[in-house]
C-alpha cells in the first residue's frame, strides 16, 4: 500500500528533489518485490499481501524498467489459492485485470451505472457439496510457550474431515482434550480466544496466554518451521500435517 501511495505522490509532485527521493524509494521497493518473487517461486510476502504486491508492481513498472516482471509466475500463485475473504478479493481483482487502486480516479463510473442486465457478467452457479461424505484425516497440533511466564508445551492428534480448516482442528482438539486444551472451566468450547478482523478470525490467546501490543507478542502458526500463509479460518491442513502454535515476538 505504501508503494501505491508513493507512486500517487510522485505523479503529482512538481519539486525535482522530492521526485528524485521518491524515484529512489520506489526503485528500491519494486526491485525488492521482484527479488522476493524470484526467490520464492512467485510468492511475495504471504497470500494475503499478494494482491497489493501485484498492484504495486503493475503501478511501478517505470521505476524498475528495463527489468521485466514475470507476472505470469506471480499470478499462478494467486490462481492456485481459493480466496474467501472480501478484503483479499478486493485487493487481488484489480491486479488480475492490469489495474491498481491508482486507476480509480480515472474510472468513468457513470458508464456502468445504467448497464443493462444483459450486459452484466452472469453469476456462476455454485455446485452443492452437502451430503457428500469426506475422507477423514489426522492432524497433529501443538502449542508451545518458552517466552513468558510458566513455560508449557502440549501436543495432540485429532481426526477431522478432509477440507477442515485449522480453526476446526483447534476446536476438535479442545473438545477431545479438555484438561490440556481447555484449562479454564469458563472457556466453554475452546482453550483459545479470537477476534474477528477484516481478514477473518485472529487468535489472540491460547491456554490462557494472550498476545500483547505492548510486549509485541502474538501466537504464530507454523508448519515445518515456516509461518502459514493463511489464517486459521481458511488454512486447511492435509493428512499427517503437524501444525505448531508458538508464542512469539515481532
Q: Would the annotation count 9 as a binding residue?
A: no
**SS3 of residue 204 by DSSP:** strand
Nearest Cα residue to 54 out of 35, 34, 82: 34
Q: Would the annotation count 250 as a binding residue?
A: yes
Q: Would the annotation count 228 as a binding residue?
A: yes
Please name the residue that has the C-alpha cell 492456485: 80
Q: Would the annotation count 166 as a binding residue?
A: no
Q: Would the annotation count 64 as a binding residue?
A: no
Beta strands in 15-135 (DSSP E): none
DSSP category for residue 236 = -
State which H helix or E strand residue 56 sits in: helix 50-59
Q: How many CB atoms lie within 10 A of CB 49?
A: 16
Q: How far apart are CA 119 and CA 122, in angstroms?
A: 9
Q: Would the annotation count 202 as a binding residue?
A: yes
Distances (CA, A) of 139 to 55, 155, 245: 36, 11, 13
**SS3 of residue 225 by DSSP:** coil
Binding residues for cyanocob(III)alamin: 46, 91, 202-203, 228, 250
Annotated binding residues, written as ranges, equal 46, 91, 202-203, 228, 250
Amino acid at each position: 500500500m505504501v508503494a501505491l501511495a508513493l507512486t500517487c505522490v510522485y505523479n503529482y509532485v512538481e519539486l525535482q528533489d522530492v521526485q528524485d527521493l521518491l524515484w529512489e524509494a520506489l526503485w528500491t521497493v519494486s526491485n525488492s518485490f521482484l527479488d522476493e518473487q524470484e526467490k520464492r517461486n512467485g510468492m511475495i510476502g504471504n497470500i494475503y499481501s499478494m494482491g497489493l504486491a501485484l498492484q504495486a508492481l503493475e503501478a511501478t513498472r517505470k521505476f524498475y524498467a528495463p527489468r521485466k516482471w514475470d507476472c505470469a509466475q506471480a499470478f499462478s500463485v494467486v490462481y492456485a489459492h481459493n480466496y474467501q475473504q472480501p478484503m483479499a478479493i478486493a485487493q487481488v481483482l484489480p491486479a488480475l485485470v492490469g489495474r491498481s487502486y491508482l486507476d480509480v480516479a480515472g474510472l468513468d463510473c457513470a458508464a456502468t451505472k445504467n448497464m443493462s442486465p444483459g450486459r452484466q457478467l452472469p453469476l456462476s452457479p455454485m455446485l452443492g457439496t452437502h451430503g457428500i461424505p469426506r475422507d477423514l484425516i489426522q492432524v497433529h497440533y501443538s502449542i508451545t510457550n518458552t517466552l513468558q511466564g510458566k513455560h508449557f508445551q502440549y501436543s495432540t492428534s485429532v481426526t477431522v474431515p478432509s477440507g477442515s480448516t485449522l480453526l476446526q482442528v483447534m476446536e476438535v482438539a479442545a473438545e477431545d482434550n479438555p484438561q490440556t486444551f481447555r484449562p479454564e472451566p469458563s472457556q466453554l468450547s475452546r482453550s483459545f480466544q479470537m477476534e474477528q478482523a477484516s481478514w477473518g478470525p485472529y487468535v489472540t490467546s491460547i491456554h490462557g496466554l494472550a498476545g500483547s501490543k505492548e510486549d509485541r507478542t502474538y501466537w504464530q502458526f507454523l508448519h515445518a518451521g515456516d509461518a502459514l500463509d493463511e489464517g486459521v479460518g481458511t488454512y486447511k491442513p492435509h493428512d499427517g500435517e503437524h501444525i505448531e502454535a508458538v508464542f512469539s515476538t515481532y
